[in-house]
Structure 1
């Protein structure tokens, strides 16, 4: 019998399996595909987050010139951004896992049964795996992690391409975090859910451009995002000459937190680790995975620790009370963003990115303590124009329950 069975071999599953193996636990993995199968999506992250973790070597690209565009003008960010070398990072975690004798199996987890001393997982093909603890890292569509049913899930959606263009879609050696300018839209389209462009110069004439919806219920369709991306480019006199890669993303921003009393432990999207107000998660995986692995190893090392208690301690390590409270504060922020009209949205982001870099960076990374996040939001309220302030105050009445959870969780 293994100590831990990790289900899923994306960034969440691979990183945690490697971290668990490093603690000396006996670990197995179960995934639908070969764990070495290339990941389909790109992963961006702020360079200082990787510097803090000692992982800068896994960056494929870096940009010092990072900006945001709103209708009122350009906002320089004065912070370096990077794109992870996903193949190198995947190979690193696979090597680390192999070094610590983590073995991987292919199959779909179809049934799970808990016993006093272990959990048994049965695949669709009838194979069984037993472990003292099971971690689900299969993403937000996890079928094993229990959570409340959300009446309305707000999704971030994105459609992007890496390719060559008739003209550079962004300035040389520049990364555009958000281009919310809507001058390319028809008057009717300006009443539709807003989208923004995320783009970067990859060098050698290659660029990555991605049309993204911040969050919306129902989800903005990938067809709409594709159409808007090409409409935006055409408005600027740019044609797509050659496509090297197409990226499609769709994930919920406000998925309910899991039931922390359950025996299956989640990680990544299965554990609702997507930042509700930004969509970021890769940094959270890198920061929180090693701590979760150590907590699991410490729990399972105790002869008196039952699997149920080990799961409880793992959930506590992943979602301590302070982080839960911040989560509801970020959900409050998300509701504000979705309620803003287009002019308010532009004004909001102009004010947000004019905050001291440490404040907005800490908000996006979820790296600050709750009082510091609250202080940053107070600073934002002071900088924002009256129309944004009014929207924020209205939200206190319509979504005040989220603020209540911030104080009481």
Structure 2
């Protein structure tokens, strides 16, 4: 299911996961006894918008980084000796990397975080259900809170009585950075080259300079201190966590015989000032499958029927909004140029005249496919652990809520030296928490929903979502939020959905069980002790 792929974690276009950890053929070693750094103070605030830098014509798409808000500055970090043995090295400063780093230092661990763009605002727009961010105490990190959410599976609007939140990217990153700084996390702007396991208890993280600071021209009020790497260097850590996203730079996938490539969802969006728009300002538009704008000729109509896409909108008053055209999950993503054309054709059809484009976004999300190999020393978290919901693309809320549990598991493992410290034992414990048998079986069930959606045409997709949002909210919300925890809940969900679905969707479900779901679907609804036999 893909109604909210763009509402979870957005990622820039990236290469799908490779099966091997990259190993550079050569690496220039530093001649210095200590890694050379310089202290930098950076900002996540945007400079004033230059109207002359943006075209008002929809044929041009300049990208202007313009975070929606700023946040107060935290205290500066305390420097740590460069050759120190860190408890944990976290690679990546996205929502996963920073939330985990902050949680780790809460347990008193010595943590270093390395990221090539640590000084820059996150480029993508995030949206979450408000109750999920309330559960982790982050619902104040919002640029907008919508009392209700709207869906158009067909011509009639479906209003969902569940609040939706547009994440304040700047405030959330600043909050997590502040927690890291106050907890003593060492923040470094650096490109990680390689990870080498030098013994059972230590690893080497090799890194180099990140190049010119991105967004340097818009930095103003400092938010934190970080260290800018000026030369090639190395640090030692007991445990390494890969938070670099879906590319799996330092984590390996499952063995080749078990490997399944992920499917994909693509989206093209713009933050724009408009003369007006027809979307209700106090409702977030989650999905709009209406495609009257694609009926102008036979070619467009066939494209829309074969490759369904929907509109996703964050209204910001009457003359500004974020508009995004999103493809339903498929084995091969709809090209960005096609999504761009569809978006502007739709806006024109709906009478939306774009005055200025403030930001442009291209998002590609690998969904489903194989999990990472859980028998490896490097721990994956966030996109690198494939935490993205395989049917919706949601990940931010799940990631930040899981950070505390993962951090506690790491802390307990590092402190347990009863049999001598073994990094592999800690990694195994974390992977068991991140992808327990219960979670893997739930993912099997959600995978079936995703792959079923991937073979439906436009008319079938509309029928599917009509039935899906006719379910009790407690049921569809659990599906969207990765909360169908037990086999009994999953069986009940499947039977309820089958009963209320139309005849064609019932037939698609039955056909999908044999052609798509097969054993993976069957084991997802078996008692756990019985489904475990498959892995033994």
Shorter-chain TM-score bucket reads over 0.9
Shift of residue 151, structure 1, vs aligned partner: 5.3
Which residue matches 2:119? 36
Tell me the residue number matched to 1:261. 375
For residues 231-242 of structure 1, the aligned pairs below 5 Å read: 231-242=345-356
Partner of 2:178: 95
User: Please, which runs of 5 or more residues in structure 2 have no aligned partner?
Assistant: 1-84, 209-230, 295-299
1:67 is the counterpart of 2:150: yes
C-alpha distance in 2 between matches for 1:244 and 1:152: 35
Contact 1:18-1:96 at 8 Å conserved across structures: yes
Q: How does 1:10-409 map to 2 (within 5 A)?
A: 10-33=94-117, 35-114=118-197, 115-124=199-208, 126-148=232-254, 150=259, 152-185=261-294, 186-203=300-317, 205-304=319-418, 305-370=421-486, 371-399=488-516, 400-406=518-524, 407=526, 408-409=531-532
Tell me: higher relative CO, structure 1 or 2? Use CA pairs within 8 A at least 6 residues apart: 2
Provide the rounded CA distance (Å) in 2 between the counterparts of 1:87 and 1:257: 30
Runs of 4+ in 1 over 6 A off after TM superposition: none
1:123: Cα distance to partner? 2.2
Q: Which residue of 1 aligns with 2:79?
A: none
In the comparison of the two structures, how many residue pairs are matched?
A: 408
Query: Which has the larger share of helix?
Result: 1
Q: Distance in 1 between matches of 2:425 and 2:395?
A: 27
Question: In the superposition, relative to structure 1, how do residues 36 and 367 fare at CA in structure 2: closer, same or farther (>3 Å)?
Answer: farther
Q: Deviations over 1:300-325 (max 9, x none)?
A: 11113410000001111111111111
* Structure (1 or 2) with the larger CA radius of gyration: 2
After superposing the two structures, state which structure 1 stretch, 316-325 or 362-371, moved more: 362-371
Alignment-derived partner of residue 7 in structure 1: 91
Q: Answer yes or no: is the 8 Å Cα contact 1:36–1:90 preserved in 2.
A: no
Q: For the Cα contact (< 8 Å) 1:180–1:195, is it kept in 2?
A: yes
C-alpha separation between the residues in 1 aligned to 2:167 and 2:301?
Answer: 38
- For residues 110 and 401 of structure 1, what CA distance do their matches in structure 2 show? 40
1:184, distance to aligned residue in structure 2 (A): 1.2
- Verify the 8 A CA contact 1:359 1:373 in the aligned structure 2: no
Say which structure is richer in strand. 1
What is aligned with 2:3?
none
Q: Normalising to structure 2: TM-score of the pair? A: 0.74
**Contact map agreement 1:3 1:131 (CA 8 A) in 2:** yes
Please give the TM-score of this superposition, normalised by the length of structure 1: 0.96
Q: Equivalents in 2 of 1:191, 1:63: separation in Å?
A: 31
